[in-house]
Structure 1
Amino acid sequence: MERLPNQSKSTEDTGYDRVGTLTTNVADGFTMVAVGDLIVSRPLTTAHPPGFDPIVKIFHDADVTFGNLETNIFDIRSFEGSPQAEYGGAYHVSLPALAPDLKAMGFNLLSRANNHSLDWGVEGMRETGRALDQNGIVHAGVGENRAQAGAARFVETPRGRVALVSFATTFTSLSRAADPAGEAPGRAGVNSLRLTEALVVSSDMLDSLRQMHSEMPQNGGRGDQNQVVFCGIKSSVTYKAGDKLGYSYETDSYDVAEIMRNVRRGKQFADFCIVTNHGHEPGRWSQEPSDYEPSFAHSLIDAGADAYVVHGPHQLRGIEIYKGRPIFYSLGNFVMDDLRTPVGADMFAAHGKDPRTDTDAEVSVAEMIRWGFSDPVFYESAVTISRFEQNRLAELHLYPIELNRSQRFADRGIPRLAPGPQGRVILDRLQKLSRPFGTQIAIENGVGVIRLDPTSPK
């Protein structure tokens, strides 16, 4: 049997490397570009927005360029679906010309599991998939059933075959994909990781809540010595004691097992595996990941992931390096070109607008104001370039970007490399957010740099 490059005999015999993860087998110099959310409604490369071309060059120089596609792609004139009553907070839709434009930008891997995947129903999900397929862009995270949505998808590069596994912790309840069960067919939708949320309060507060709970009607709530659950008509709220007020999450064991299996399967058929999650938890206001996520991220890498990329909070969070692999706890927004058209009737109603007198753009502006997206932090992010040597991360470059927040609404949200002072502010923030994970970021010529010894066991 012919031995593959960079593969030791022990690895060849067992399929595992010395730290127990599945074998990584990319050629030295392999580079991965990763960015966050693509909320984009129109093609960009043909317009050559100021400062955009240098970013495109970075993308083209990489072996694989990844982002999260948080929109649907179709032509409303021939579209046979409809805007859904349950949607991800806004109806995200893009022109058909976006798909070839994403290819022209340099994207060859996109995640699609997120809370906007089924804004326009299964028909929108399918149309988007067809548009990406026709332009040779590999995508993962949605499918005709759970098995398809969770499966790894693969892209071939000169330095190795790359797998992508995509899931979401933030998703609309009716968009969750399901497998067949007996005579019941499967359901198309999103690959999901369900979370159970609890509000963390002090012990004294929990005692007060427990007393309140005991005086409620017989079926009004439930609890035990460690937590109290108040059951409402439509939902329940769980409280538990802790040292710090906030939110706590528990992962669904069935979903975790499925995701880990898909990561393992993806890595078995690839040289490199990217795992990605779209999650808002604990909220867009938070610069810290949810309490479950660091240990979960480590488990993903132990299962074979070579990079874990989170998006969804719409702002940057810290970076961790674990066993020579990068963990990005949020890469914020890459594009937030959010001038949507068309907009469904439900969104007009949600913002007190009338489609007979108000415009789609006015609804979009109202939505942005309602969710607080005017804050500069949502318009500052980074393009990340991870370079691997000896199958481990050797160097990570962080190029700060800003999304033209000062422009009029129709022109804002398009990224450019951040000018010096603003770039320094963004990198200073990343330094601070990454420090709790033991990550040291140097700043050299306006670029964040993390350097590692690829021979180090850590």
Structure 2
Amino acid sequence: MEENSHDTGSHPARRGDGYDTVGSIETNVADGFTMVAVGDLIVARPLMSGRHPGFGDVVEVLRNADATFGNMETLLFDIRSFKGSPQAEYGGAYHISLPEVGPDLKAMGFNIMGRANNHTLDWGLEGMRETGRILDESGIIHAGAGESLAEAGAARFLETARGRVALVSFTTSFTPMSRACDPAGEAPGRPGLYALRLAQSVVIPPAMLENLRQVRDILPGDNPGHRDPNRVALAGVTFKAGAKAGWSYEPDAGDLADILRNVRRGKQFSDFCIVTNHCHEPGNWSQEPADYEQSFARKMIDVGADAYVGHGPHQLRGIEIYKGRPILYSLGNFFYDDLRTPVGADMFALYGKDPRTVTDAEVTVDEETKGYPTADGFVGALASPIFYESVIAVSRFEQNRLAELRLYPIELGFAKRFANRGIPRLITGPQAKAILERLQNLSEPFGTQIAIENDVGVIRLKPGSSL
């Protein structure tokens, strides 16, 4: 393999002892290499044989690429023979899809998928494993879930005519018991997903922090010897002072080191490495990435990633070009065909519904329109046109650099009846312009300029340019 070559010719990375390192982070694909990336795939049924106006044009875009990526945010199994059960912890809804969705996605053109997200273990390990089996049988490469932390975090590889593609998939948004771990001594490893843990802090004005400090100090049980003068921990929440109120996140150092290693290893054994992060933070309401994510994404590029693809908040976030490589902070929804059935009893109870009189669809619509119940009401509602608008991102590489990124606006049928919505079609005209202009505004803080040409967004890089 190339990684073991002792050729001492020109090479961008050197150990200094006459041998090539295996750690080159350079892109190494044939001219014309194309990656298609989309966001969340929430699709309950096969679509290729159905009547879905405009979907054929979408499929043509998906098929015309070397690597076609999406985030697999559902589980594939037949409920009639399924041996598992809906879990007490689940990602906000019980996502379930027919087994036929696997080969159907392959027929559309998908050949590489991320698996790590807040729905990976909605139906337990049985659902996770059955989904992996069906994707394997369908010929779709997938990463982000496995029988141990090492397996879940390992890069998986797609062979293409223009180069070998690696994928590392992880999530910051997950249920606590879904995180994989490795063996330790006699204790076996734990199956699950590849997680990046984030320490969350609430940022508030300094005067308010002082008020909270006073409240903390009069409460019993605190240990004054372990107090941080810049933070206040109260009722399980950490507060810190800042000029702008909001949420702040710090990646777990161990998780970060492990991800960096897996990305580096993925690139060492491939020509092109995709890193994908499922991140809802700070919330589905936010069009801006969480405050940790820009520096984090850049670290991924620095150690060898050729593309960073984000998803999770179900709506678009901005695009950055860093060192000639695309950082897509969120590509929103690609499918939102949310005909989930059956729904676990816990979800009926969460919304105060009786499964003997209320249908699965009525609970699903309630969840989408009201959001998730909390002590103060409902949050996270997704029944808005903005969650049914997105883009297909097509990155083309020439001379091992990103030459052009094309953004095809899509709409998922928000106005259609429940049984027909959530399936993308390419759009033109005022709605396409509005989507692309929104993406222009979201990308402007990153210094990214998006032209709009014939209802398609275009980012072009000059030869030798990283912007």
- Shorter-chain TM-score range: over 0.9
Aligned equivalent of 2:180: 177
Deviations 1:76-108 (A, max 9, x none): 111000000111110000001100100011000
Retained in 1: the 8 A contact 2:40–2:312? Answer: yes
Aligned equivalent of 2:319: 319
Retained in 2: the 8 A contact 1:314–1:378? Answer: yes
1:410 is matched with which residue: 419, 425, 429?
A: 419
1:87 and 2:90 aligned: yes
Q: CA deviation at 1:21?
A: 5.6
Distance 2:98 2:445 in 1: 42
Retained in 2: the 8 A contact 1:198–1:238? Answer: yes
| Cα 1:160–1:12 shift into 2, 3 Å | farther
SS of 1:94 mapped into structure 2: coil
Mean CA deviation greater in 434-443 or 22-31 = 22-31
TM-score normalised by the chain length of structure 1: 0.95
Retained in 1: the 8 A contact 2:204–2:246? Answer: yes
1:30 and 2:29 aligned: no
1:217 is matched with which residue: 215, 220, 229?
A: 220
SS of 1:9 mapped into structure 2: coil
1:428 and 2:437 aligned: yes
Aligned equivalent of 2:62: 59
SS of 2:105 mapped into structure 1: helix
CA RMSD between the two structures: 1.9
Residue type matched to 1:398 in 2?
Answer: L
Residue type matched to 1:365 in 2?
Answer: V
Retained in 1: the 8 A contact 2:75–2:120? Answer: yes
Retained in 2: the 8 A contact 1:16–1:22? Answer: no
1:189 and 2:198 aligned: no
| Cα 1:178–1:85 shift into 2, 3 Å | same
Aligned equivalent of 1:438: 447
Retained in 1: the 8 A contact 2:12–2:24? Answer: no
Q: CA deviation at 1:220?
A: 8.9
Aligned equivalent of 1:369: 369
Q: CA deviation at 1:215?
A: 1.2
Distance 1:248 1:97 in 2: 41
TM-score normalised by the chain length of structure 2: 0.93
Retained in 1: the 8 A contact 2:323–2:466? Answer: yes
Deviations 1:8-67 (A, max 9, x none): 7224866579xx961321001100000000011001111141111111001111011000
Distance 1:386 1:454 in 2: 15
Mean CA deviation greater in 350-359 or 314-323 = 350-359
Deviations 1:244-268 (A, max 9, x none): 1000000000000000000000000
Distance 2:212 2:35 in 1: 49
Aligned equivalent of 1:226: 230
Distance 2:110 2:361 in 1: 28
2:150 is matched with which residue: 140, 147, 152?
A: 147
Retained in 2: the 8 A contact 1:21–1:301? Answer: no
Residue type matched to 1:203 in 2?
Answer: P
SS of 2:106 mapped into structure 1: helix
Retained in 1: the 8 A contact 2:314–2:333? Answer: yes
Aligned equivalent of 1:270: 270
Distance 2:265 2:202 in 1: 35
Aligned equivalent of 1:252: 252
Retained in 1: the 8 A contact 2:13–2:24? Answer: no
| Cα 1:228–1:397 shift into 2, 3 Å | same
Residue type matched to 1:188 in 2?
Answer: P
Deviations 1:394-444 (A, max 9, x none): 100000001100000111111111231100000000000000000000000
Which stretches of structure 1, 4 residues or more, deviate above 3 A after TM superposition? 1-4, 11-17, 219-223
Deviations 1:135-165 (A, max 9, x none): 1000000000000000000000000000000
Residue correspondences, number: 450
1:72 and 2:81 aligned: no
Retained in 2: the 8 A contact 1:220–1:230? Answer: no
Aligned equivalent of 2:298: 298
Distance 1:393 1:133 in 2: 30
1:453 is matched with which residue: 436, 445, 462?
A: 462
Residue type matched to 2:209 in 1?
Answer: L
Distance 2:417 2:227 in 1: 51
Aligned equivalent of 2:352: 352
Mean CA deviation greater in 256-265 or 369-378 = 369-378
Distance 1:457 1:178 in 2: 38
Aligned equivalent of 2:378: none
Q: Which runs of 5+ in 1 are unaligned?
A: none
Aligned equivalent of 2:287: 287
Residue type matched to 2:69 in 1?
Answer: F
Retained in 2: the 8 A contact 1:431–1:440? Answer: yes
* 1:120-139 correspondence runs (5 A): 120-139=123-142
| Cα 1:21–1:377 shift into 2, 3 Å | farther
Retained in 1: the 8 A contact 2:24–2:268? Answer: no
Q: CA deviation at 1:219?
A: 3.4
Distance 1:196 1:33 in 2: 32
SS of 2:202 mapped into structure 1: strand
Residue type matched to 2:453 in 1?
Answer: E
SS of 2:233 mapped into structure 1: strand
Aligned equivalent of 1:157: 160
